[in-house]
Amino acid sequence: MALSPAAPRLEQDDGRREVGDDAVWSLSSAKAGNGVDQLRDNNMDTYWQSDGVQPHLINIQFFRKMAIKEVAIYLDYKLDESYTPKKIAIRSGSTSHDLKEIHVQHIVEPNGWISIPLLTNEDSEQAPLRTFFLQIVILAMHQNGRDTHIRQVKIYSPREPNVLDWSIPEVSTPQFWAYSSIR
């Protein structure tokens, strides 16, 4: 049994976690053997291949409203050429019926992870996008290709800090010292 190469690592960031497994994924079309499983298997040798009219869609539906910090897409122009996306849009909403376009990304001959930050401006601060439904739309391919290859997609949420602090506070007064141990 040959080992397949693992996905090259994205930049390490303790401030995020991958939440793609917390969602239901669907595609607008797929060639047999090149579907959602290949899009999420962490193997750079496999890919999703669309098989239909443009635009090609990746639908990601969460069970609860999620804070989304970033979408990362692995593309390889050298291997996929005319199948490589050139223009990608990200849409967000509660369901597939109320989606709004929130970002458009133009890509030139990519080789590796394409990181798309999804931050909104709330109270003059950048906050992660909160959504139930995320859609990645492949609008155009390099060399006017018709179908697309996408090798991996990762969805990142901010890592929530540990709110439970089990440390014992320092003794600061004589009254506190009297109650600082258990009999």
Domains and their CATH numbers in the chain: 16-161 (2.60.120.260)
Q: What is the pTM of this model?
A: 0.81
Q: Whole-angstrom Cα distance, residue 159 to residue 14?
A: 7
- 128: Cα within 13 Å, side-chain hemisphere: 19
Rounded to 5 degrees, what are φ and ψ at 174?
-60, -35
Taken in order 99, 140, 68, 117, the sign of the CA dihedral is negative
Between CA 90 and CA 86 the distance in angstroms is: 14
pLDDT tens sequence for the chain (183 residues): 333 344 455 555 668 999 999 999 999 999 999 999 999 999 999 999 999 999 999 999 999 999 999 999 999 999 999 999 999 999 999 999 999 999 999 999 999 999 999 988 776 678 999 999 999 999 999 999 999 999 999 999 998 766 666 666 677 777 777 776 766
Kindly report the number of other CB atoms within 10 A of residue 11's CB atom.
8
